[in-house]
Amino acid sequence: MKKAERILALMLILGSGLSSCAAVAPWERGHLAKPQMALDPHPTQSTFREHIYRGREAAGGGGSASGGGCGCY
């Protein structure tokens, strides 16, 4: 193996070993189930804002992309 391949293999092994997976005790699961821990704590509000943004943008999609449109939001 070349040196670069060895380094890449080592980085992959270390990366998989340092992942953030961990066992969660049953009494700790209540903290993780709080709405603040969700990726989108307000899905209804986010959907409404996305709808308003698309109306101002006058185009479909592009909600996660930057640039384009009139820029009035």
pLDDT, residue 54, reads 80
Q: Are 62 and 68 in contact (CB under 8 A)?
A: yes
Task: Return the DSSP state at 25.
Answer: -
Per-residue pLDDT tens over the stretch 3-20: 888 889 888 888 777 766
Q: What is the pTM of this model?
A: 0.35
Percent of the chain with pLDDT over 70: 74
SS3 20: coil
Per-residue pLDDT tens over the stretch 31-47: 778 877 788 878 899 89
Segment among 16-25, 46-55, 57-66 with least mean pLDDT: 57-66
Token pair 């070993």: residue: 17
* 68 has a pLDDT exceeding 80: no
- Angle, vertex CA 17, rays to CA 14 and CA 21, nearest 5: 145
